Structure 1
């Protein structure tokens, strides 16, 4: 059981991220669901699968480093995957795992391959999750550009949500970008 915690537990600075998804239309139920996105997708799609796109050590985006309280010059493990349902990509997931967080209980997170990160996070009752924040991504933003690389048709914008997960002193940031195929 995942526990939501207050912002006081996670003193974070949001850079143009919203506390709620304003005018998000039919994606709103997906965006505001505090449960496991993996579990919800598995319930909706019998052919759900995870396809790794990238797993590299790189510098996080500046506001990601701020959220995780790591120096912007430090590299972290960046894991990017596509979540498939109905034979099509429905979510692009971008996770930032600081090196210090890849020890102890989360030691295996760097070796998930095509296994969903959500399963590891939501099955451990000691994992705490910060409140979700939301953003409407546009073509000039890095996460939009990464997500649409895997699409034939490029939408005008994409909705994303993110939150920080904590286990003991280890933190990771998970951002989920909702692709147009999810609402079909």
Structure 2
């Protein structure tokens, strides 16, 4: 079985450690299920789909997943919400080539969490997390900011690739400022 590794020469540079992430660091570096962590900190957790469509992934995402010629993939954007307030914007890239077998139902999740599905299957492996501070010029910042007011000039994000046999999907999570209020209210467990 081939082991997944991130490309070395990527123009969209991500970090192996979240240097300077301050209050976001506990959220960024937790290797468990983000869905589960949020569920433990709010009474009413929900997933609100923003976009699920067939489209070409961003060039950096296509390179990362080794999708030749940037073929169309399923792109899924959702807000993870606590008490009806968006705390995380999650962006997933699901190449057509992997949409079979165990991955088949991922496009039709609706308002169910992708993370719950991924972490419930012990055969799915997660490649180590990577981190990035996103500014307004970055396509993911713009997607996360759509429809939201009062966002800071930078948003912290993490991404990882989940693999099953020889196939892979990309999940990027952008942490919105409201997530920090959960930490202050509930404490870090």
- State the TM-score, normalized to the length of structure 2: 0.91
**Conservation of the 8 A alpha-carbon contact between 2:59 and 2:70:** no
Equivalent residue in structure 1 for 2:149, among 149, 152, 165? 152
Question: Relative to structure 2, which stretch is displaced further, 148-157 or 95-104?
Answer: 148-157
Question: Relative to structure 2, which stretch is displaced further, 134-143 or 82-91?
Answer: 82-91
Matched, 1:112 2:109: yes
CA deviations on 1:114-167 (whole Å, 9 max, x unpaired) are 000001100000000100000000000100001011311121100000000011
**Conservation of the 8 A alpha-carbon contact between 1:59 and 1:72:** no
Q: Corresponding residue for 1:125?
A: 122
The root-mean-square deviation of aligned C-alpha atoms, in Å, is 1.1
Equivalent residue in structure 2 for 1:93, among 90, 94, 97? 90
CA deviations on 1:36-75 (whole Å, 9 max, x unpaired) are 0000000011111000000011111111111111124301
Q: Secondary structure at the match of 1:140?
A: coil
CA deviations on 1:1-43 (whole Å, 9 max, x unpaired) are xxxxxxx821222431000101101110000000000000000
Q: Corresponding residue for 2:32?
A: 35
For 2:51 and 2:90, locate their aligned partners in 1 and report how far apart those are by CA, in whole Å.
10
Equivalent residue in structure 2 for 1:9, among 3, 7, 15? 3
For 1:93 and 1:162, locate their aligned partners in 2 and report how far apart those are by CA, in whole Å.
10
Q: Corresponding residue for 2:187?
A: none
For 2:17 and 2:176, locate their aligned partners in 1 and report how far apart those are by CA, in whole Å.
18
Aligned structure 1 segments of 4 or more residues deviating by more than 3 angstroms:
none
Q: Secondary structure at the match of 1:83?
A: strand
**Conservation of the 8 A alpha-carbon contact between 1:161 and 1:175:** yes
For 1:72 and 1:93, locate their aligned partners in 2 and report how far apart those are by CA, in whole Å.
24
- State the TM-score, normalized to the length of structure 1: 0.93
**Conservation of the 8 A alpha-carbon contact between 2:125 and 2:164:** yes
For 2:5 and 2:152, locate their aligned partners in 1 and report how far apart those are by CA, in whole Å.
33
**Conservation of the 8 A alpha-carbon contact between 2:56 and 2:73:** yes
For 2:91 and 2:158, locate their aligned partners in 1 and report how far apart those are by CA, in whole Å.
10
Q: Secondary structure at the match of 2:25?
A: helix
For 1:46 and 1:168, locate their aligned partners in 2 and report how far apart those are by CA, in whole Å.
36
Q: How many residues align?
A: 177
